[in-house]
Amino acid sequence: MILLDNIHQTYRGPKGPVHALRGVNLQIRAGEVFGVIGRSGAGKSSLVRTINLLNRPSQGTVTVAGRSLTTLNTAGLREARRDIGMVFQHFNLLTSRTVYDNVALPLELAGLSRQQIKTRVNPLLELVGLGALADRYPAQISGGQKQRVGIARALASQPKVLLSDEATSALDPETTRAILALLQQINRELGLTIVLITHQMQVIKQVAHRLAVMEAGQIVEQGEALQVFSHPQNETTRSLLDDVVPRELPANVLERVRALLGVPGQPPASLLRLVFAGVESDRPLLSDLVRRFGLDLNIVHGQIDEVQGHPFGTLAVLARGAQDQLNAAIGHLRGAGVQVQEVAHA
């Protein structure tokens, strides 16, 4: 559906050239929600704007739905952009036009009749939950409702691709969840390919099927969402994941565990951090360790969540028993696909 091949983007800066994108290669499948995440300045907004050539790359080719956009003339590019809708962070609504008229604007510019526009706009307003607010003006609706108007407007031309550039970053958490649920519904019901730019792993966790992590204008990691969450390979990815699954245990937990580790006369103990995902989370792994290896287990901290409907989480477990049994248990867990980190031992 979307193919970016060796994309470079260089701007003129006050102190010389700025390399926003450095040899980006990316393939996005038809009908998926693809997340692009990175810190501020990583190049993610520059990347999404090359997909519809709002930013023309300095080097490389952009192909959308089998059409090479970088080879098109102005008229051809204008036509191709009708297949690519875009939702912005700050809504970009016309304050002098009603909700209905904002959604209708691209259809008016395309020359559709009043009846054709009505036939297109009314169902879209119902889809985004604004059918009763068609006559309101932007100043009369909330931020979340404004973003719904922006989504409906982006869908008005019946695009094949929807680009979302930090569309939820100006919204509160509850409204963000509602907008992301709407995007999931649109993806599911319309089969639309969605490219989601964000700096929040919570957003990726809720909606993205696959993702790419950017740093300094390059993609440093990409893959299926569950795989990246459970087995991050790059330090940037691990750092971003700290917002969802912190790598470090809380100080009060560590203090409590140190006290438990220091109890004299007790068998050896290890504090294990377990990371599990998908089918591993449905297995009785801890009770299996007790039966197989005779360990005493104490769960001291944990977090269970979902990524694209698949269980995902971490547990900090204090395991006490003979050292050879502890070692065998760790090997057993790793063999079952669970990541095991030995945080402390005594």
* Interval 276-325: pLDDT, tens: 876 556 677 888 889 999 999 989 888 888 887 778 888 899 999 888 99
22 and 112, same domain (yes or no): yes
Q: Does residue 202 form part of some domain?
A: yes
Query: What is the chain's mean pLDDT, rounded?
Result: 90
159 and 274, same domain (yes or no): no
230 and 265, same domain (yes or no): no
Q: How much is the pLDDT for 345?
A: 67
Number of domains in the chain: 2
The pLDDT confidence band at residue 2, using thresholds 50, 70 and 90, is very high
Q: Does residue 240 form part of some domain?
A: no
Domain CATH number, residue 268: 3.30.70.260
Mean pLDDT of 145-154: 95
Q: Which domain holds residue 156?
A: 2-235
Q: Does residue 273 form part of some domain?
A: yes
Q: pLDDT tens digits, residue range 52-110? A: 999 999 999 999 988 999 999 999 998 899 899 999 888 889 999 999 999 999 999 99
152 and 283, same domain (yes or no): no
Task: Please give, one letter per residue, the 3-state secondary structure of the chain.
Answer: CEEEEEEEEEEEECCEEEEEEEEEEEEECCCCEEEEECCCCCCHHHHHHHHCCCCCCCEEEEEECCEEHHHCCHHHHHHHHHHEEEECCCCCCCCCCCHHHHHHHHHHHCCCCHHHHHHHHHHHHHHCCCHHHCCCCHHHCCHHHHHHHHHHHHHCCCCCEEEEECCCCCCCHHHHHHHHHHHHHHHHHHCCEEEEEECCHHHHHHHCCEEEEEECCEEEEEEEHHHHHHCCCCHHHHHHHCCCCCCCCCHHHHHHHHHHHCCCCCCCEEEEEEEEEHHHHHCCHHHHHHHHHCCEEEEEEEEEEEECCEEEEEEEEEEECCHHHHHHHHHHHHHCCCEEEEEEEC
217 and 95, same domain (yes or no): yes
Q: How much is the pLDDT for 279?
A: 58
Q: Does residue 241 form part of some domain?
A: no
Q: How much is the pLDDT for 308?
A: 75
